Amino acid sequence: MYRRILLLGMTACLCGCLHPRKYEQVQLPVPAAWPESATVKPNAAAEASGADTPWREFFRDEHLRSLIELTLANNRDLRMAALNVERVQALYRIQRAEQLPSVNASAAADLYRLPKSMTVAGFAVPQSVTVEQYTVNPVAVSWELDLFGRVRSLKSAALERFLATEQSRAATQIALVAAVADSYFALAADREKLRLAQATLDAQQSTYELIRRTCEAGMASDLDLRQAESQLEAARADIARYTAQVALDENAINLLVGTTVSADLLPGELGSELALKDIDAGVHSEVLLRRPDILMAEHQLKAAYANIGAARAAFFPRIALTAAAGLMSSDLSDLFRYGARTWSFVPKASIPIFDAGARQANLKVAEVDRNLAVAEYEKAIQSAFREVSDALALRSRLLEQQRAQEALVRSLEEAFRLAEARYRSGIDSYLSVLVAQRSLYAAQQGLVSLRQARLSNLVTLYKVLGGGA
């Protein structure tokens, strides 16, 4: 009988191997190289690959490094991602354990009463009797023969889900590092704008007092005084606005870090010490395959392929072996005697015959899930390609804008100096000074915004290339 069961299993196994379901590498649904307009480098110096650059090397500011380390230790999103990795790892261990035999020990006592005139095995019980049966099985082994790969497929699917979760944690860390850096630069920029507003207010206050005294002496008009006063109040409004924005930036950093950040770790202004290491996107778009979110999608795709294998295995018999060895006796005092030994061996084959199409539908679901995973994988690659292309396209353009803005600021500084000199000489009215000062102030604020945008763009490029894990 055992030979027949084994022969049946081997035959079904051979049938199941006729159509193997293996993972097929998906072709990149994007061009092999970046768009030509996105490959212009702002710096001809040697650059490092973004994916190969650790974040401690990319960020050169010591305060920002300390802030990122504090974030990685305290952020709740990253903590939940790490806990999710541990959970899926435990689920994988559970699934992997099903490939091995399970060994148990058991002890049981079975006591029951047979009433009078009860028929047992064709014999009538003459009077009521109490039956006792004691069993001890120190070794009980059960094992499913995985001839058709059902358990192996489920284990492979669990492994791929675990690997996908690890990549999800890495992607969360990359996004978190970039978010902390962006918030850090935003705070530095807003503090510098607040400083410019305060400097403008101080200058306007001095100018207002001078014009007020001149007006009282009859050497200036009320119009000049009101124009100076309007500029003074505008500077006060900007100070209030940027003071509130600085507070919001600090709150955002505290939330990302997961704790209250000490003032000595926060930036002062958007100075040159916040420079970042220059990185290179390379020539080929295959670098995208190293991004954690794309690796996560690929592992999910592999898990979908493994689920198809498990669904196909459901069409074939399941063979399980159960064996036990122990002691049995009707009297507890005789349980451990030599003659009380007992054993059992129970092979079991479950052959599916009819289930109203449930197994076929389950296989269809697995195949559709695989197709969905392919689409998600391709979409992830296409989205990543666009993100890198956008970051590269902005990279050199922002540098050009910053250089032009710096030249504009220098020009307006000279224009403001000349307008102020002409006003003091009585050649022009205060309106020319007012216009020149407003233009200079707006250009200075715009320059700060452009410097922040350049830093954020480089951080974004570093993130979309897969750096920061």
Q: Please write the tens of the pLDDT for every residue from 389-412.
A: 999 888 888 989 999 999 999 999
* Structural domain contains residue 335: yes
Question: Residue 468 corresponds to which tokens in the numbers above?
Answer: 């920061």
Residues 244, 188 share a domain: yes
Residues 90, 203 share a domain: yes
* Structural domain contains residue 185: yes
Task: Give the relative orientation of helices 76-97 and 150-216 as an angle to the nearest 10 degrees.
Answer: 180
Question: Residue 200 corresponds to which tokens in the numbers above?
Answer: 């403008």
Sequential DSSP letters for 196-231:
HHHHHHHHHHHHHHHHHHHHHTTSS-HHHHHHHHHH
Residues 107, 196 share a domain: no
* Structural domain contains residue 294: yes
Q: pLDDT at residue 305 above 60?
A: yes
pTM: 0.79
Q: Which of 329, 351, 373 is the last residue of a domain?
A: 351
Residues 232, 176 share a domain: yes
For 262, other C-beta atoms within 10 Å of its C-beta total 10
* Structural domain contains residue 469: no
Residues 330, 236 share a domain: no
Q: To 10 degrees, the CA torsion angle through 50, 51, 57, 63?
A: 90
| DSSP 3-state of 328 | strand
Q: Which of 330, 351, 372 is the last residue of a domain?
A: 351
- Residue 40 CA to residue 47 CA, distance in Å, equals 13
* Structural domain contains residue 3: no
The burial of 10, by beta-carbon neighbours within 10 Å (0-12 exposed, 13-18 middle, 19 or more buried), is given as: exposed
Residue 296 pLDDT grade (very low, low, confident, very high; cuts 50, 70, 90): very high
Residues 289, 373 share a domain: yes
- Residue 324 CA to residue 345 CA, distance in Å, equals 7
* Structural domain contains residue 8: no
For 124, other C-beta atoms within 10 Å of its C-beta total 9
Q: To 10 degrees, the CA torsion angle through 183, 189, 192, 197?
A: -110
Q: Share the mean pLDDT of the chain.
A: 82
State how beta strands 341-350 and 119-120 pair.
unpaired
Q: pLDDT at residue 13 above 60?
A: no
**Residue 352 in contact with residue 359, Cβ under 8 Å?**
yes
Residue whose tokens read 């510098």: 192
Residues 327, 304 share a domain: no
Q: To 10 degrees, the CA torsion angle through 237, 240, 243, 244?
A: -110
Reported as a single tens digit per residue, the pLDDT across 50-98 is: 667 888 889 988 899 999 999 999 888 888 888 888 888 888 888 888 7
Confidence at residue 191, expressed as pLDDT on a 0 to 100 scale? 93
The CATH number covering residue 343 comes to: 2.20.200.10
Residues 438, 413 share a domain: yes
**Residue 413 in contact with residue 437, Cβ under 8 Å?**
no
* Structural domain contains residue 13: no
Residues 292, 405 share a domain: yes
Q: Is the dihedral of CA 179, 185, 186, 191 positive or negative?
A: positive
- Residue 363 CA to residue 349 CA, distance in Å, equals 22
Reported as a single tens digit per residue, the pLDDT across 407-420 is: 999 999 999 889 88
The CATH number covering residue 59 comes to: 1.20.1600.10
**Number of domains within the chain:** 2
Question: Residue 394 corresponds to which tokens in the numbers above?
Answer: 């902005």
Residues 154, 23 share a domain: yes
- Residue 467 CA to residue 469 CA, distance in Å, equals 6
| Mean pLDDT, rounded, for 178-183 | 92
Residues 403, 273 share a domain: yes
Residues 242, 107 share a domain: no
Domain range enclosing 341: 102-145+319-351
Q: pLDDT at residue 215 above 80?
A: no
Q: Which of 298, 329, 351 is the last residue of a domain?
A: 351
* Structural domain contains residue 405: yes
